Each structure stands twice: as structure tokens, then as C-alpha cells.
Amino acid sequence: MAPTSAPALLWGGRFTGAIDDLMFQFNESLSFDKVLYKADIQGSITWAKALRKLDILSDEELHQIVTGLQQVEKEWEEGKFVINTKSDEDIHTANERRLGELIGPAAGKLHTGRSRNEQVGVDMRLWAGEQLADIAEALKGLLSVSAARAKEALPILMPGYTHLQRAQPVRFSHWLLSHATFLKGDLQRLEGVRERVSSCPLGVGALAGNPFGIDREFMAKDLGFRSVHPNSLCAVADRDFVVEILQWASLLMAHLSRLAEDLILFSTAEYGFVQVADAYSTGSSLMPQKKNPDSLELIRGKAGRVMGQASGFLASLKSLPTSYNKDLQESVEPMIDCIKTVSNCVRITQGVLATLTINGDKMKAALTDDMLATDVADYLVRKGVPFRQTHHIAGAIVRKAEQAGVSISALPLKDLREISPLFEEDVAQVFDFERSVEQRSTYGGTSSSSVLAQIAAIEEFVAKN
Ligand code: ARG
């Protein structure tokens, strides 16, 4: 069916011709901005209150508008809102159209001095603010689970890697907290993003400001915003908060995907360090034996989606002329999708970690004596040999062990002394993974005291924020 002819649309006064069918669909945003219905109604109720303060609305009209809007909200909530697919262009026009049907002429006063350009900014910011508060809570949950699992797994040692090559022994908890440390940074950055999302554009008009002296401070406060947007031309053009959300989310997703990648590797038979619970795995339609870590693979994959949204929208924003342009509508879908993606990924990661089986024995079995070569060098450092020499000496020991086909701890003292006469009986103590780990007890290290301090710091951070 053809859409309503342009003259009959909300903005159709100056139009005579009909809008093209495809153009109507191309232009409409209700199909995705309907999730903003509640924020749109909140914004309109506040706007109506501000109009009442200016005597543009009477008490009776304000009452009609507020109860009418509450009715519209209820219809959305109960899934009973009937969309007019021929005329409802976006959430703002849909709500106003329905309000008019419910309360009659008073509805026509609501949009006095207001523009959809400011309305969409208010709706997006209110909605995003609420969602980001939820995501902050979810991130705290993820940090708490990381801390709890780190505490429980404290005695477990594993190979620490650089370049994916076995490097030095570390505590499994230390590895887990390395990821939690990234996530803590994400939570700290999120607070800054939330501050800037919470700036109220209401009262800026289409671009130039409000001619009736509307009380912008009152409206910002009434809607729970932290500040009032300071420039009308900027306010209707400002989707920096969306860029910030997308870029913030990109880095968070990079962190989650790195954690996911580690866990995917660690859950292979080749490592066997961890096992992802059935609740977060799926099977193969062909190979009966398969159990795949799809949860983690999806997180890794979705990181690309979010990063694409960030660079995609930034490209839309680049070179836009001053104030509002319809290109800005392109900010709505990525914002909504990105927030949903991030929220799911954080919660799924928490679930995966909470239910993960940690195979300490497998990790222990993967520790090899050559990972203590640095400790051998350090042994000689403690005897006064410059590190550059000890590095060579320890290297020579590794080579000798390799030639002999034994591990470095199996070389007789005699062989060691041929390389350096400073080796004594007590060198045997060096070949102890636990000792190696416990020696790294400075701030941020992998000893149990350092790891426990990290756990305490994360617990305190979650409790305080
Ligand atoms: N759906 C529009 C958006 O998301 C609302 C603002 C429309 N403003 C306009 N001048 N057509 O940007």
C-alpha cells in the first residue's frame, strides 16, 4: 500500500506531491528507534511541564498530555501500540500521532518550540545512559567473578607465554587477573563516557535555540541529566557520545576477544588447561564427539562487528556541515546494536568464567625446566656476575642440556661448573617452579602475596564504584 501523501505527513504543510514508496521506507527510522519509546515519552512529559511553566499549556492541557503519554507508553509496553506504516516516520512522530488520537487538540501544543533534532538527541542519550549503567554493573559482576576464581585457583601454576612460546611460570590467577586488569580500565573509562552522554540537548530547537525562554536547567534536572548542552548548533549535530560509546566498546571488545582467544586455545586438547561448561558450548551436527566453545568464538567475532560500527559511523560523521543533517540518523542503529552486543558479551564472559573447569594438573604438566633458565641466570646475578654474562652462561646450559637430551635440572653439577665455577650444590633449589613464582613478589608480580593484593584491589574497586 502506498504511504500517506506527503501533505498529510507531520511536516507536510509545504508539500504538494506524494512521497515515493521506497523513499518513505528509506527515510523511516521507527523500525529501529522504537526501542527509544520510553525515553521519548519521558522527554515529552518534561517538555510539557516546561511549557506549563511558560503558560503555553494550561493545567488541564498538561494533565491531558501527561496522562495521554502515559497511555501511549503503556501501549508500547504491552505490545499493543499499532504502528501506522504509512505515516509513522520515527518514534517522535509515532508517539505524537498516537497522543493526538487519544487526547485531541491539546496534543497539537506539545511540539511548541521543539524540534525532532533535539528530541532524538535526548532520547538517545537517555536510553544510552540507562544501558551503560547496566553495562557498568555487568562489568562489575565480571570483575567479581574473576577475582573469586583467581582466589580459588591461587595455588595453580601454569606456563606463562610470550609470543605464544613458553616463557616463565606464573600463577593461573595472575593470568586471569591480567584480563581483569584490562576490564577494570574499561570500567574506569566508561565513567568518563557516561559523564559526556549525560548532557541534555533539550531546549535547543532545530538549531538556533528556543524563542519562548524555556527552562533548560529545569528540564535537564527533571530528566536526570548531569549537565545542559552548551550550544544549540552543536547540540543538534552532536553524536560524539555515540562515537565515544562505539570506540569505548571497541576497546572493551578487543579485551574480551583476547580473553576469549586465550580460553579457546587453553580449552583445546593440545593444552587442556580449561574446559568450557556445556552451558556455554555447542556440538557439531556431523561429528558426535565435538564440543565447541561457540560462546567465546562469538565474542571474538563480535569484536569485529563493534569495531566496524565505530569506524563506519565515524566515516558518516566526517565532513558533515554544521548542525543537523539526516546522515546523523545513521548513528542510531550502530549505537543500539553495539550496546546490545556489548551487554551480551560481558554477561556471557561472566558465565563462561564462573562455570569454567580449571585443570591445574594439566597446567603443571606443561611446565618445563627450561622455563627456569632466567632463574639460573638470576642465581649467578646474586653471586655478583653481571646479568649479560649470566644470560650467556644460562644459555650455554640450555644448549648443553639440549645436546645431552636432558632437562637443564638433570645436568650434573660438574657440567654446570665447567660452564661457571660459581655454581654450587644450592643451584638445585633453583629448579622449583613454586620458588620461581614466589620470588616475583614485587607489586604486580605473580607471587601469591602479589596476586592476593591484586584480588583485594579489584574487590575494593568493585565495592567502591
Ligand atoms: N529520526 C531522525 C534522526 O534519527 C529524527 C530527527 C529528524 N529531524 C529532521 N529534521 N528530519 O535523526
341/387 same-domain check: no
| Beta carbon of 348 within 6 Å of any ligand 1 atom | no
| pLDDT confidence bin for 285, thresholds 50/70/90 | confident
Say what the pLDDT of residue 213 is.
98
141/94 same-domain check: no
Q: Which atom of ligand 1 is nearest to the CA of 206?
A: 10
Rg, C-alpha atoms of the chain: 31
Number of C-alpha atoms within 13 angstroms, CB side, residue 225? 30
The string of pLDDT tens digits covering residues 401-429 is 999 999 999 999 999 999 999 999 999 99
Rounded to whole angstroms, the Cα distance separating 13 from 227 reads 35
- Would you say residue 350 lies in a domain? yes
311/393 same-domain check: no
Q: Is 1 a residue whose pLDDT tops 60?
A: no
* Contact of 30 with 83, CB cutoff 8 Å: yes
Ligand 1 centroid to Cα of residue 328, in Å, is 8
Q: Is 7 a residue whose pLDDT tops 80?
A: no
- Would you say residue 209 lies in a domain? yes
According to DSSP, the residues that pair with 160 across neighbouring strands are: 168
Helical spans, DSSP H, in 109-171: 116-152
Q: Kindly report the CATH number assigned to the domain that includes residue 220.
A: 1.20.200.10
174/226 same-domain check: yes
142/272 same-domain check: yes
| pLDDT confidence bin for 3, thresholds 50/70/90 | low
- Would you say residue 16 lies in a domain? no
- Indicate the average pLDDT of the chain: 96
Grid coordinates representing 315 are 566515516
Rounded to 10°, the helix 116-152/172-197 angle is 160
Active-site residue flag, 284: yes
* Contact of 266 with 258, CB cutoff 8 Å: no
Ligand 1 centroid to Cα of residue 326, in Å, is 6
Rounded to whole angstroms, the Cα distance separating 237 from 153 reads 50
147/69 same-domain check: no
- Would you say residue 379 lies in a domain? yes
- The distance of Cα 133 from the centroid of its chain, to the nearest Å, equals 11
Last residue of a domain, one of 365, 393, 416: 365
339/269 same-domain check: yes
- Would you say residue 321 lies in a domain? yes
Say what the pLDDT of residue 11 is.
77
Say what the pLDDT of residue 288 is.
82
Cβ contacts of 320 within 8 Å, gap of 6 or more:
237, 327, 328
| pLDDT confidence bin for 84, thresholds 50/70/90 | very high
Can you give the residue range of the structural domain that contains 87? 21-109
Ligand 1 centroid to Cα of residue 63, in Å, is 27
| Beta carbon of 44 within 6 Å of any ligand 1 atom | no
The string of pLDDT tens digits covering residues 45-67 is 999 999 999 999 999 999 999 99
| Beta carbon of 259 within 6 Å of any ligand 1 atom | no
Lowest model confidence (mean pLDDT) among 55-64, 89-98, 277-286: 277-286
Last residue of a domain, one of 109, 126, 144: 109
| Beta carbon of 90 within 6 Å of any ligand 1 atom | yes
| pLDDT confidence bin for 2, thresholds 50/70/90 | low
321/419 same-domain check: no
Active-site residue flag, 163: yes
Rounded to 10°, the helix 59-77/91-103 angle is 120
130/64 same-domain check: no
The total number of structural domains in the chain stands at 3
The string of pLDDT tens digits covering residues 11-34 is 777 877 888 999 999 999 999 999
Cβ contacts of 427 within 8 Å, gap of 6 or more:
376, 379, 413, 416
- Would you say residue 463 lies in a domain? no
Catalytic residue among 163, 229, 232, 420: 163
Q: Kindly report the CATH number assigned to the domain that includes residue 52.
A: 1.10.275.10
- Would you say residue 456 lies in a domain? no
Neighbours of 98 (CB within 10 A): 22
